[in-house]
Amino acid sequence: MNLHQPMNWARLAPGQSDRYAAQPFSDPQHALSEVDVNAIRSAGFDFVRLTIDPGPFLQLTDKDLANLDDLLLARVQQLLRANLTVIVDFHPNPQVKAYAPDAFVGRGDPDVPRAHLQMLQRLAPRLAALDRCHVLLEPLNEPPSAANAKGAADWQAELEAQYSAVRAVAPQLRLVLPGGQAGWISGLVRLDPRPFRADRNVLYTFHYYFPFEFTNQSNPAMPWVAPLAELRYPARRTSLVESLNESRRRLARSKLSAQDQRRELMRAARIATAYWRSGFGPATISRDFEQVAAWARRNGVAPDQILLGEFGVVRNDGPYAGAADPDREAWLTDVRREAERRGYSWAIWQYRGTGGMGIAEATRGYDIDPMVVRALGLRLVKSPPAGDQARASTSR
C-alpha cells in the first residue's frame, strides 16, 4: 500500500512559491491518524510505502531540520507499532522547481544530488536503528532518466553513488532500487544489478500503469488522455461508439471552443481506436511482466527481490470520471495475480489523496473500498494487537 498524503506535497511558507514552511507537515491535510493506520491494517495490508517529499529535508536547516527528521522517525514508528513494515520512499514532486524530480538526476542545481546523498547518509542509520528487518529505504522514486543508453548509464552511476552512500553508514539496511525511465519496466531492464548482486538486502522495483489510456482516462493532469471516456478492460470490451459519444458529451460541457472540441474529439477517436485494436488484456500484462522475469533470470535476481512498487486505476465516482468499477476491478485483479504468480511483492497506489486512485476517502469514513480489497485478494481482518511481531515484510 502506498501512503502518499502524510509526508508529501509539503506546505509552503505563506506567500512563497519556493520556500517550505518551518513545519511543512503539521497541518490537518498531512495528519496520519490511528483511524488511517487501523484501516490499512484491518484490510489485510502488511506493509506501506511511505512517500517522502525530499525538498524540505534539503532546504530546511538547524532546529527546523532536526524537528523534521524526528517527525519522519515518529511516523515510521507509528506504522511499525501497527505491525506494518515500512518502505521510506524519497519521492520528489514539482511543487518547488529547485527540488523537482529532474533536479535529483543532475538537471538543475548540481548541489541537489550532493545534498540528497548527504540526506540519505544522515537518515539511513537512524532508520536502520528503528528496525533493521521491517524498515526499508528507497533512495529515489521514478528517476526521470532519458530512454537511451546515455540515460541508463547516467542513472546507473547515480544509483551506485546512492547505494554506496547508504552502505557506508547503514550496511544492513534493506534498500529498494529502481531502474531509470521513471521507474517503468523499460528502465529496470536497462539496470545493471552486478554492483549490488552480492547484497541480499536489496530489492528491485518497477511501476505499472499500462495502458495509460485505460488507467488514466479522463485524468485532467494528463492532457493527452483527458478527453477519453468509457474505455473498458480488456480492450475489446470497449464500444467505440459509446466511448466517443461520452467524450463528445464531456467536451461539450468544457470551456473549450467548438474548434478545440472537434480537435480533442478526433484525438480521442484515434487513441480509443488504437486501444481497441491493441487487444490489451491479461496476456499483455503477462508479456510485460515477462520482461522483468527475463531480466531477473539473466542477472541472478530472485523473485522475492522484486517489488511492483505502484499500480492503480483512476476510479469513476465523485469528481473523477475514470474506469468503471467492473473494469477497474478486473485490471487490478489481473495485475496483482500476475505479480503473485511470479513471486513479486506489490504495493497499490494509493491509500487516499488527490488524483482519483485513492482507495479510501473521507466520505466513506476512511473505509477501504471493498471492491479493491476483493481485487487484491485480501480480506478484512481485525487489527492485531500492538507489539505483535508476526509481521511479513512484503504484501501478497
Tens digits of per-residue pLDDT, 64-96?
999 999 999 999 999 999 999 999 999 999 999
> What is each CA distance from 124 to 137, 155, 328, in whole angstroms?
8, 21, 37
Stretch 337-354: mean pLDDT, rounded? 96
Output the pLDDT for position 365. 54
pTM of the model: 0.94
CB neighbour list of residue 81: distance below 8 Å, 6 or more residues apart:
386, 387
Other beta carbons within 10 angstroms of residue 319's beta carbon come to 7
Helices (H), 168-220: 185-188, 212-215
On average, the pLDDT of the chain sits at 93
Backbone angles phi, psi at 348, to 5 degrees: -75, 150
- Is the pLDDT confidence value at 361 over 90? no
Query: Residue 106: pLDDT band by 50, 70, 90 thresholds?
Result: confident
- Is the pLDDT confidence value at 393 over 60? no
What is the tens place of the pLDDT at every residue in 7-18? 999 999 999 999
- Is the pLDDT confidence value at 222 over 80? yes
DSSP secondary structure, 13-51, as one string:
PTT-SS-B-SSTT-SGGG---HHHHHHHHHTT--EEEEE
Beta bridge partners of 68: none
- Is the pLDDT confidence value at 334 over 50? yes
Assess contact for 289 and 342: CB atoms under 8 A: yes
- Rounded-to-integer distance, Cα 124 and Cα 12, Å: 26
Angle between helix 149-167 and 111-130 (nearest 10): 50
Q: For the ranges 213-227, 333-347, 372-386, which has the lowest average pLDDT?
A: 372-386
Burial class (CB in 10 A: 0-12, 13-18, 19+), 98: middle
Element (H, E) at 245: helix 240-252
Signed CA dihedral, 373, 379, 385, 386: sign only: negative
